[in-house]
Chain A
Amino acid sequence: MNQAEIRKLIPAVRVAINAKHRKFSNPKGPEGRLTMLRKTVTELVKLERVELNYQRGDEARGYAERLIAMAIKHGDRHIPTMEMANYWLTEKQLVHKLFKVLAVRYKDHTESYTKLHKAPNIYPGFYRERVVLELKGNPFPPLEKKNSSHNWIHNILLEEAHQDYIRKKLKEGERSN
């Protein structure tokens, strides 16, 4: 039966997610998978920037986004949110950080709370797609530099041509008046 659950209203996750969950074969099965992702989410909240394999990072990203969205929406007086934070963050001072620091930081954000960058390969060795998962607004220097095309020669010339066109139009307007 393809029918949506209507008991809870959940805000949209602002990142791209896989249609199906990743199984992550684990000796303990699905419980072990959640334990592994729990460790990743805890590390992310603690360190604010972690380097992982792509599959684990992408999966943990969804959980991190949902956890932060819940903390922002409900606050720390809401019991189910507290229980969820208690489960996902194994170090208890991070629960305080989630509600007092991260929820406040991302209160007015309209985009995602995390960013996933591609990381360089670990060479030599079997190719593993590496990523860096970080919380936005972290205190570290940025990983990617913004390549602004504002000062490129053709953009400067185009900008000037545009200004010339506007001046010409204004002059014509004054003349007709």
Chain B
Amino acid sequence: MSCYYTGLARSDLKPPVASRSRRIKRCRCKCYGHPKTVMVMAVVAAAALRSSSTRLSRLLPGVCGEAWGHQARRGAVLRVLPFIPTQDPDVIKKMPEDFRAVYPEFLPGPKPEYRNRLREKLERQDMLARRSVMPIPEFYVGSIMAVTVADPNASGKNNRFVGICIQRGDAGLRAWFILRNVVDHQGVEIKYEMYSPLLQSIEVLRLEKRLDDELLYLRDALPIYSTFPLDMEPEVMQEGAPVPVNPIKVQLKPRPWHERWERKNLQGVMDLGLPERFYKKAKLHEKPWEKYDLMKEYRATIPEEEQADIFREISPHYPLMESTRRRGKRKRVLPSIS
């Protein structure tokens, strides 16, 4: 039986029967559904494995990840096989402790259904190429940044925005972050894709972390906490010092809010001052067993060996990335008075 959209042979699709629903059975290998994309990926896969004796016809169904030995199917269920390193593990390259914190977008998304080792490898190459053209500094949620994008309709063809990073997400070339600021008493949030060629520069004006991983509660906080001058100067940073954690406790506006912040276990907000019933309801929604769920935690992470493997893959470029990072920090150090 073949997929209606891509024409790939799939053994787990069943032929349409009069009694079954008329919904077209779509190829579940998530191959974007467009024949052209599949053909392009097949050509790439073929080029990558020209030296091996694997036939193209056997590669085609596995272009989406299953042929690479990392996934298997037991019936219709997707299995994730034990990790096999791709780089030579005898080459001793110790992964730095802060690698996953400073360059989190190099680690792929953990969902196995969406993973494709070849695509991740190609993306990492593209990310390194982009970084050599436009250096992306180290930043965290809570850092104040200035981003200039190319805009054909703006005067000077560039558009600069300053804001606090409230969230960052996704992995690979899709990695993004959201900057928030209050301009003319209007809260403005802009989502920037880090590897978009439209981005001209990313500067970190104040490098710091906060008590929470996401600062979406700033939408419901007093505007003073999200207001930063648009002409803010980059701040002083001690060379070699660890990234400071800002222990600020933000005051929220009165309800209604965008989310039930009392259920989110936020560290960076002042006492919410809600009636007792809210906290009682929040307690009912708590899931205290989740911290013991070892497999849930595992499925949300990339294992240690895989992170080390990824680091080994990009380690030739790592010294350049680190020198760019240190150079960015050093620029903001004030000259010593002597």
Contact = CB atoms under 8 A, between A and B. Distances in A.
Contact of A1 (B100, B101, B170, B307): B170
Contacts of B77: 18-19
A16 B112 CA distance: 12
A2 B78 contact: no
A125 B81 CA distance: 32
A47 interface: no
Centre residue among A15, A20, A88 by max chain B CB count within 10 A: A20
Contact of A4 (B108, B112, B296): B108
B82 A4 contact: no
Interface in A1-46: 1-6, 8-21, 30-31, 34
Contacts of B108: 4
Interface stretch (A61-69, A98-106, A136-144, A163-171): A61-69
B247 interface: no
A41 B295 CA distance: 13
Contact of A18 (B78, B101, B107, B290): B78
Contacts of A84: 292, 294
Nearest to A63: B294
Contact of B304 (A9, A18, A19, A88): A9
Centre residue among B112, B296, B301 by max chain A CB count within 10 A: B301
B235 interface: no
A87 B101 contact: no
Contacts of A9: 100, 304, 307
A13 B296 CA distance: 13
A116 to B, nearest CB: 12
Interface string B119-156: 00000000000000000000000000000000000000
Instruction: Report whether over half of chain A's contact residues are helix, strand or loop; otherwise say mixed.
Output: loop
Contact of A6 (B81, B101, B113): B101
A10 B112 CA distance: 17
Interface string B4-28: 0000000000000000000000000
Contacts of B170: 1-3
Contact of A12 (B82, B297, B299): B82
A10 B104 contact: no
Interface in A91-110: none
B232 interface: no
B287 A30 contact: yes
Contacts of B224: none
A3 B294 contact: no
Interface string A57-75: 0010011001100100000
Contacts of B113: 19
A158 to B, nearest CB: 23
A17 B295 contact: yes
Contacts of A112: 82
Contacts of B79: 16-19
Contact of B295 (A6, A12, A21, A30): A21
B82 A3 contact: no
B299 A21 contact: yes
B197 interface: no
B271 to A, nearest CB: 26
Nearest to A73: B304
Contacts of B304: 9-12
Given A66-B294, A87-B292, A12 B303 contact: yes
Closest 7 CB pairs between A and B?
A2-B109, A12-B303, A19-B112, A1-B169, A19-B78, A66-B294, A6-B100
21 contacts: A1-B169, A3-B169, A3-B170, A4-B104, A4-B109, A4-B300, A5-B300, A10-B303, A10-B304, A11-B304, A12-B83, A13-B82, A15-B82, A17-B80, A17-B298, A21-B296, A34-B293, A62-B294, A62-B295, A62-B298, A70-B294
Given A16-B80, A19-B80, 16 more contacts: A3-B110, A5-B297, A5-B300, A6-B100, A8-B297, A11-B304, A17-B80, A18-B79, A19-B111, A19-B113, A30-B287, A30-B290, A34-B289, A62-B294, A88-B292, A88-B294
Interface of B: 71-72, 77-83, 100-101, 104, 107-114, 169-171, 287, 289-290, 292-307
